[in-house]
Amino acid sequence: MRRVRRGYATGAARRERILATALLEFAEHGYRGASLARIAERAGLSQAGLLHHFRNKELLLIAVLDYRDELDARTFDIEGAGGVDALRALARVVEHNSRVPGLVQLFSVISGEAVTPGHPGHDWARRRYRRLRETVAAALRRGVERGEFRAGLDAEAHADRLIAMMDGLQTQWLIDPERVDMVTVFQGYVDDLIATLRP
């Protein structure tokens, strides 16, 4: 009997171990600062072994970013929700993020590096922002349809602001965790915004 999934399953587990390790390393040292040798060592295989699974460093980063997005599939149902509910969902995302500093840090470090055109994460970051903006803007528009928000609001601009606020507070929080209360400060923004947008 051929154990159809055996080889695959082993390979997949290996792959995931590598991805999880690489995520930590990229989060800690950025793309340029991370080293394949160290990732391999921490993942329990040789550097050549690692490169058997991911042909080069750039492809590994892309895979890690996709992997992070998968872990992030807990979108907290922003897509499903609309109006005030969506804003509260965003606040819950921030709260959740405060419990996974590693994932947040990966995002902050890579986003920072990726502002440079030519960085392997540049396209990923651009796509990510565009998608996020669309998702949040759509949720705001649904709030208008439901009469929760006043008509004529600039959904895209508010979406940009909500995303900027999340990212900006994350940076401050990562750099100075004791001093910056990311969750409460963002919650305050959402509360003010709900009041402002009331019809």
Partner DNA sequence: GTCTATACTATGATAGAC
Partner DNA sequence: GTCTATCATAGTATAGAC
Q: Which residues bind its own copies (CB under 8 A)?
A: 28-30, 32-33, 105, 108-116, 122, 125-126, 129-130, 154, 157, 160-161, 163-169, 171-172, 174-176, 179-180, 184-185, 188-189, 192-193, 195-196
Give the residues lining the site for DNA (CB under 7 A): 7, 10-11, 14, 34-38, 45-49, 51-53, 55-58
Nearest to DNA of 26, 189 (CB atom): 26
How close are the terminal C-alpha atoms of the chain, in Å? Answer: 67
Nearest to its own copies of 20, 180 (CB atom): 180
Q: How far is CA 177 from the centre of its chain?
A: 19
Work out how close the CB of 158 gets to its own copies at its nearest, in angstroms, rounded to a whole number. Answer: 8
Work out how close the CB of 43 gets to its own copies at its nearest, in angstroms, rounded to a whole number. Answer: 20
* Tokens standing for residue 60: 């590994």
Q: Would you report the helix, strand and coil content of the chain in percent, each value rounded to 5? A: 75, 0, 25
**Taking Cα atoms as reference points, which of 97, 94, 110, 104 lies closest to residue 188?**
94
DSSP helix/strand/coil, 196? helix
DSSP helix/strand/coil, 91? helix
Nearest to its own copies of 30, 82 (CB atom): 30
